[in-house]
Amino acid sequence: MSLYRSNCGTAHAAWGKISTALLKDLRRLTEEFKLSISAGDLQLLNGNWYVTHSGLLRLSHRRHCRGISTSVLPKLCESVAGRWVFKATVYTSPRSKGFVGYGDADPSNVSSLVHGAEMRVAETRAVNRALRKAYGIGLCSVEELGSFSSVFPLGQQSPQNGSHPSANHGFPNGQPRLRDRLCLLIRQHHLDSALVKRYAAEYCGTTTLREASRDLVAAFISHLAEWASKDREGLVSKLSSYAKSPESEVHA
């Protein structure tokens, strides 16, 4: 099956009916950049496609990126207020002079889920902007969106999304169970489901994953997806440390 056909099927399953214009954009993004919805490279929010940080990193790997450097700009930062500004430079080849991007974050323009992590958000935004410049991607990235936005798992609509009724798939507020997203990641990266569940429980600070809040489970899924895409071997090594732990259950 071609990547575009796979993307179309995943998009319809996650968001219901997709307009002709959006499908046309999806074909272009698929053919030009090889972005995969099931891998978490793209999200559909408010009727627009957005690229993700993990999607940009995978693209840079495919294009043989030579390196990414980041630096904080202290004169523009206020650590007490949680305001941070970063500069990122992407080098696409050994002779590249670099593509520069800037990113800022403070409590007013990040999701409440990541309050206290503004420094990391600012760095991610800077890297995303530099990567988008380097590889000619006009799409805004999910992580660059304002305070209303957090990273919505595949198929989950933002609160402001006017989603089509067919996108609900029987789930409250049009939001599919996080279990389905987690299972997709496990299958996609060929992970041991029992070990993933044990790791998830520890990550969420609960005895079993069943006891964790939805927000914590969503955060874990985003964390798992990013780690799996960047360093699957490292993730598998981490999971192996839970081989003798009591098994917990996924509940979202």
Output 245 or 100, whichever has higher pLDDT.
100
pLDDT at 177: 59
Identify whether the C-beta of residue 15 lies closer than 8 Å to the C-beta of residue 167: yes
Structural domain contains residue 245: no
Q: Are residues 138 and 179 in the same domain?
A: no
Structural domain contains residue 179: yes
Tokens of 113: 């889920």
Residue 249 has pLDDT above 80, yes or no: no
Residue 18, number of CB atoms within 10 A of its CB:
18
Q: Are residues 176 and 227 in the same domain?
A: yes
The CATH number for 67's domain is: 3.30.160.20
Residue 212 has pLDDT above 60, yes or no: yes
Distance separating the N- and C-terminal Cα atoms of the chain: 31
Q: Are residues 131 and 202 in the same domain?
A: no
With vertex at residue 237, the alpha carbon angle to CA 231 and CA 243, rounded to the nearest 5 degrees, is 145
Supply the mean pLDDT for the chain. Answer: 82
Q: What is the pLDDT of residues 194-208, one digit of tens each?
A: 899 889 888 888 888
Using pLDDT thresholds of 50, 70 and 90, give the confidence band for residue 127. very high
Q: Are residues 30 and 91 in the same domain?
A: yes
Q: Are residues 140 and 178 in the same domain?
A: no
What mean pLDDT is predicted for residues 121-125?
95
Using pLDDT thresholds of 50, 70 and 90, give the confidence band for residue 244. low
CA distance 234 to 207: 24
Q: What is the pLDDT of residues 9-28, one digit of tens each?
A: 999 988 888 999 999 999 99
The domain containing residue 111 runs over which residues?
3-144
